Structures are given as structure tokens and as C-alpha cells.
């Protein structure tokens, strides 16, 4: 499948759609998931037009995973989370719904269940507050 530049993350990268951004550099962007599975659910994407892991340029992938680590460290601190889960889905059969490569960063702790993936839109004021908490420690 060819990369579709009308996907929502491509629009966020072009500034055509808004996002609750937490980190950005030359290679990647991180922002809050609008339908979070847990508080603090953050996405890290390369700026490169890449559909999934399978098409990723290894150099871009390396830069992206370094930023996944940076964001995961900040999310862990901001949400005082003993565990961080990284999820990354490739292809519709695996549950991928946005066809621009992305890494989910999910704070986890005992007794805290994650809700279903990409179901319920969060309150935007809460998302901005969460983004600010992460930006403060990144
Ligand atoms: P996946 O199903 O792995 O492709 O994940 C896509 C994620 O993008 C889901 O968790 C959605 O909640 C999230 N999502 C969809 N649209 C937006 C958006 N406009 N801003 C932030 N996250 C989004």
C-alpha cells in the first residue's frame, strides 16, 4: 500500500490538524493520543512519510526510537508510573488504524487497566494539562 498523505498524522505534521504536542525535533514529533487508553498515553512519530515499521528507513527508525526513550522517560516521571508499555502496530490485521508509523507510550501500574484502543475522545483541557506535565520534565 502506498503512503497516504491524507492520514491524520501527516495532517498534524503539516499543521493542518492540531495536536497536544510534548516534544519535537528535526526527525520526530510526540503528542498526546486523543483517545487515550490510560492517562499520559503519548504517541511518537517520525516526520518521514513512513506507513509502518516495514517501510522505515533504518536511520530514521534509530532517531525515532531514541525519542521514544526520551518521551517514555518523561511520561514515567510526569505520571509517576512504575511501568511504561511501548506498543507499535503494523497493518490493519494488527490493529493499526493510522497508517503513519507511530509508537504508543503508555504509563502502567498495578491495578490500572488500559481501556480499549482508539475508542473514546478525551477532554481537550485534560489532554493539554497532561501534555504540559510531560513537557515540564522532558
Ligand atoms: P493505531 O491504531 O496503532 O494506528 O493507533 C492510532 C492512534 O492514534 C489511536 O490510539 C488513536 O486514538 C490515535 N489518534 C487518532 N487520531 C488522532 C489525533 N487526531 N490526534 C492524536 N491521536 C490520534
Would 36 be classed as within a structural domain? yes
Does 3 reside within a domain? no
Question: 15 lies in a domain?
Answer: yes
List Cβ neighbours of 60 (8 Å cut-off, separation of 6 or more): 27, 46, 48, 50
What tens digit of pLDDT does each residue of 19-74 get? 999 999 999 999 999 999 999 999 999 999 999 999 999 999 999 999 999 999 99
73-122 pLDDT, tens digit per residue, is 999 999 999 999 999 999 999 999 999 999 999 999 877 677 667 678 99
Q: What are phi and psi of 42, to 5 degrees?
A: -125, 150
What pLDDT does residue 120 have? 85
CATH number for position 34: 3.30.428.10
- Please tell me the predicted confidence (pLDDT) of residue 119: 75
Pocket (CB within 6 angstroms of ligand 1): 8, 17, 19, 33-35, 43, 89, 95-98, 117-118
Q: What is the pLDDT of residue 35?
A: 96
Give the C-alpha separation, 43 to 1, whole Å: 23
For 83, the grid coordinates are: 511501568
The verdict on residue 2 lying in a domain is: no
Choose one of 33, 38, 41, 101 to mutate for the ligand 1 pocket test, by most ligand atoms within 8 angstroms of C-beta.
33
**Active-site residue 117, yes or no?**
no
Query: What is the total count of domains within the chain?
Result: 1
Amino acid at each position: 500500500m502506498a503512503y497516504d498523505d491524507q492520514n491524520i498524522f501527516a495532517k498534524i505534521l503539516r499543521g493542518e490538524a492540531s495536536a497536544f504536542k510534548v516534544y519535537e525535533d528535526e526527525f520526530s514529533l510526540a503528542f498526546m493520543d486523543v483517545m487515550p487508553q490510560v492517562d499520559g498515553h503519548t504517541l511518537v512519530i517520525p516526520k518521514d512519510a513512513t506507513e509502518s515499521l516495514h517501510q522505515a528507513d533504518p536511520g530514521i527508525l534509530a532517531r525515532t526510537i531514541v525519542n521514544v526513550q526520551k518521551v517514555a522517560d518523561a511520561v514515567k516521571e510526569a505520571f509517576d508510573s512504575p511501568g511504561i508499555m511501548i506498543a507499535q502496530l503494523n497493518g490493519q490485521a494488527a490493529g493499526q488504524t493510522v497508517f503513519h508509523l507511530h509508537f504508543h507510550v503508555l504509563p502502567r501500574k498495578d491495578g490500572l487497566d488500559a481501556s480499549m484502543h482508539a475508542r473514546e475522545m478525551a477532554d481537550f483541557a485534560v489532554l493539554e494539562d497532561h501534555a504540559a506535565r510531560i513537557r515540564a520534565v522532558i
